[in-house]
Amino acid sequence: MPGKLFFVATPIGNYDDITLRAIKVLKECDILVCEEFKPGLRLLRHIGIDKKPVSLNEHNEKESTEDLLQELYSGKNIALFSDAGTPLFADPGHYLFEMAIGSGIEVVIIPGVSSIIPAITGSGLKVESFFYRGWLSPKTEIRKNQLKDLKRIKEVIVLLETPYRLLKLTEELISEFGDAKKIVLAYKLTTPEEKFLRGSLVFVRNQIKKLGLKGEFVFILDNRY
């Protein structure tokens, strides 16, 4: 019988947020896979698992997938866990997922922490539906067009971006949307530095500058009105 492939969500900043089921799966699986070796090893050590993970990233995903599929065929259980949050959101692993499904391997999702739901919950907005945009393109012209497209979406919009583009994204939103829109910056969620900044785009931009913020974040933009 072939083994099972588990996708395991991990904490986004506070190790105490890991679930009991995630720990159990990571302890019991024969092979553990992560994107970056050092963060993966650090998490495993913290929860008392003395195993060395295998790295799977954009540079070796196809080659590593072939090896991992052979291990699954031989009956071994494999767990892929993220550096932070839920796997497959802008993380490697899609190719492994597709090949496993196509090969009849059972795939099991172990739910857990995601930055999106805590950000929406903590926004204070009444949200019955939302539009998840995620990351914008780093290419200037494509990015401009994506922002123009977003302006036509009359919804609560969820945006993610790398820490060093926090201020840049805020300036771009002011340029495209003006200052009338309500926005919430959910900053470094679950960590001691966690902050929610709520208000107009200019107010949030000014606070980012004043506080010198540069870290993981989620933007919630209310474009309904």
Chosen CATH of 4-110 out of 3.90.1150.10, 3.30.70.260, 3.40.1010.10, 1.25.10.10: 3.40.1010.10
Give the separation between CA 221 and CA 166, rounded to whole angstroms.
14
Quickly tell me which residue has 């904490």 as its tokens: 11
Q: Note the pLDDT of residue 184.
A: 98
pLDDT of res. 173: 96
Percentage of the chain beyond pLDDT 90 is 89
Predicted confidence (pLDDT) at residue 89 exceeds the cutoff of 90: no
- Whether 137 shows a pLDDT value over 90: the answer reads yes
138-183 pLDDT, tens digit each: 999 999 999 999 999 999 999 999 999 999 999 999 999 998 789 9
Is pLDDT above 80 for 77?
Answer: yes
What residues does each domain of the chain span? 4-110, 116-222
| Mean pLDDT, residues 101-114 | 95
Mean per-residue pLDDT, 70-88: 94
Query: What integer is the mean pLDDT of 116-141?
Result: 95
DSSP 33-87: EESSHHHHHHHHHHTT---PPEE--TTTHHHHHHHHHHHHHTT--EEEE-SSBST
Architecture per CATH, 116-222: 2-Layer Sandwich (3.30)
- The sign of the CA dihedral 181, 182, 188, 189 is negative
Q: Is the pLDDT of residue 61 over 80?
A: yes
Region 112-118: what's the mean pLDDT?
A: 93
CB-based burial of residue 169 (10 Å sphere; 0-12 exposed, 13-18 middle, 19+ buried)?
buried
pLDDT (tens digit, 9 = 90+) per residue, 16-46? Answer: 999 999 999 999 999 999 989 999 999 999 9
Does 92 score more than 90 pLDDT? Answer: no
Q: CA-to-CA distance for 217 and 195, rounded, in angstroms?
A: 9
Q: What are phi and psi of 109, to 5 degrees?
A: -100, 125
pLDDT of residue 225: 86
Average pLDDT value for residue range 66-89: 93
pTM for the whole structure: 0.90
Supply the mean pLDDT for the chain. Answer: 95
Which backbone phi and psi does 201 adopt, to 5 degrees?
Answer: -60, -45
Q: Which of 63, 103, 105, 111 is nearest to 87 (CA)?
A: 111
Confidence of residue 101 (pLDDT cuts 50, 70, 90): very high
